[in-house]
Amino acid sequence: MVRHLLLIPALVATLAAAGCGSGEKNDYVQSVNKAQASLQKSLSSLSSIGSSSSGAQVATTLESGGKALDAAADDFNGITPPDNAKHAHGQIVDGLHKLAGTFHDAAKSAKSNDLTAVAKALTDVATSDGAKEIQAAENELKANGYKFEES
C-alpha cells in the first residue's frame, strides 16, 4: 500500500518544470516549483501508513494527505499561468482535487476499519481520474514547450 502512496509525490513532481523560454514561462515554472515543494513536504507523512496499527491512525494520515492535496490545488489555482498553459493548469488543479477526494474516501473506509477498501483505493491511485488528468496536463505542457524533470 505504501508503494502506491509514493506515486502521488512522483506524479506531482512531474510538475516541477525546468524553465525554458520566455520570462513569463520562467515565472510560471518558479510558481509551480514552489507549490510542488510545499505539496511534497505535506505528503511526506503518508509513508508512515504501512506502520500504522489501527484504522483510525490510517484514517488520520489519509485525511491529512487529502487536505494537503486540496491545499496544493488551491495553491496551484492561485498561480496565473501563461496563455498556452491555462488549460493544462486547470487540469492540474482539478486532478489534485480529484486525488484529494480519493484520499478522503479512503480515510472514510479506514475509519470504518474497511482496510481492504483502503488498499484498493490506494492501489488504484496511479490510474485514477485525478492522476490521468495530471498526466494529460503534463503532456499538454510538454507539447507547449515546457520541460519537466524526470521523477
How do residues 73-94 score in pLDDT, each as one tens digit? Answer: 888 888 888 899 999 999 989 9
Look at residue 20 in the predicted model and tell me its pLDDT. Answer: 46
3-state secondary structure of 15: coil
Report percent pLDDT > 90 for the chain. 15
CA dihedral 142, 144, 145, 148 (to 10 degrees): -30
Residue 93 within a domain: yes
Check residues 115 and 47 and name the one with the higher pLDDT.
115
Q: Which domain holds residue 127?
A: 2-46+55-146
Which residues, listed in sequence order, are joined to residue 18 by a DSSP beta bridge? 147
Residue 151 within a domain: no
**pLDDT by residue (tens digit) across 112-145?**
988 888 888 878 887 889 888 888 888 898 888 8
Looking at the 3D structure of the chain, how many domains does it have?
1
Single-letter code of the amino acid located at 48: S
Lookup: cell for 130: 485525478
- Work out the mean pLDDT of the chain and round it to a whole number: 77
3-state secondary structure of 81: coil
- Residue 52's contacts (CB-CB under 8 Å, 6 or more residues apart) are 58, 61
Which residues, listed in sequence order, are joined to residue 148 by a DSSP beta bridge? 17
Residue 103 within a domain: yes
- Residue 23's contacts (CB-CB under 8 Å, 6 or more residues apart) are none
Query: Where would I find the beta strands (DSSP E) of 17-56?
Result: 17-18
Residue 105 within a domain: yes
Single-letter code of the amino acid located at 135: Q
Q: Let me know how many helices (H) and strands (E) the chain has, helices first.
A: 7, 2
Range of weakest confidence among 22-36, 62-76, 78-92, 95-109: 22-36
Check residues 38 and 100 and name the one with the higher pLDDT.
100
Q: Phi then psi for 70, rounded to 5 degrees? A: -65, -40
Highest mean pLDDT among 17-26, 39-48, 104-113: 104-113
